[in-house]
């Protein structure tokens, strides 16, 4: 047992390490509670708070934000990449994509292998539900300026940003939803910037707030 840890704190720390090494990302608070039959989220966070105070982990106010910080408990290989969550992006009518980094989120490193500058955006709206992109999902963006026809891309139009499929024909650019409730709309290429391609997605099935 690590010095200064209770038996339960040690068990939770070991579980977090095993989970990260096995899955490539940390467990949620609910998963820890289920594993140790702790009936409330607060009951779990008491132990996590203690581990954080003692320097074994760090956390932010987002799901799966546990990061092992003690050298003895760092995973032996780099299965996790920490990507910045930089705001929200619309999957409906475009909204401003905030450029402020809100948190660092762990994702499987295989998802962004050899990718520089990848980041996460939170989805708002339901225009891409046909592609399985739901409101509140976190999408992984690979920065790039080029695209193939119908790629799902993060696109900035003026001062706003959205996720859509891009169609280009005869010099015209249209952004197309995968929800039939939304009509395609044409944009001015001179005022449109491709931010990057959607290469991954994370969903919180437990209804926790991002």
Q: How far apart are CA 66 and CA 111, in angstroms?
A: 19
Is 72 annotated in the active site? no
| Residue among 97, 92, 98 nearest 177 (CA) | 92
Taking residue 115's Cβ as centre, other Cβ atoms within 10 Å add up to: 17
Please state the φ and ψ torsions of residue 3, each to the nearest 5 degrees. Answer: -60, 130
Contact 97, 120 (CB under 8 A): no
Is 127 annotated in the active site? yes
Among 67, 124, 164, 197, the one annotated catalytic: 164
Which contiguous run of DSSP H or E holds residue 13?
Answer: helix 7-23
Among 28, 127, 177, 178, the one annotated catalytic: 127
Could you list the active site residues?
127, 164
């Amino acid at each position: 047992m690590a010095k200064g840890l209770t038996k339960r704190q040690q068990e939770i720390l070991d579980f977090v390490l095993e989970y990260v090494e096995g899955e490539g990302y940390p467990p949620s608070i609910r998963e820890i509670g289920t594993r140790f039959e702790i009936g409330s989220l607060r009951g779990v966070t008491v132990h996590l708070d203690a581990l954080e105070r003692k320097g074994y982990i760090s956390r932010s106010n987002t799901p799966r934000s546990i990061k092992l910080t003690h050298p003895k408990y760092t995973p032996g290989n780099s299965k996790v990449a920490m990507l910045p969550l930089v705001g929200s992006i619309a999957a409906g009518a475009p909204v401003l994509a905030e450029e402020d980094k809100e948190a660092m989120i762990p994702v499987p490193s295989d998802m962004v292998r050899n990718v520089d500058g990848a980041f996460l955006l939170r989805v708002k709206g339901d225009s891409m539900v046909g592609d399985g992109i739901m409101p509140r999902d976190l999408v992984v963006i690979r920065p790039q300026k080029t695209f193939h026809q119908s790629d799902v891309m993060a696109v900035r139009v003026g001062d706003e940003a959205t996720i859509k499929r891009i169609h280009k024909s005869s010099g015209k650019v249209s952004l197309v939803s995968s929800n039939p409730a939304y009509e395609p709309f044409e944009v001015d290429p001179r005022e449109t910037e491709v931010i990057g391609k959607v290469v991954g997605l994370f969903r919180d099935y437990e209804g926790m707030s991002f």
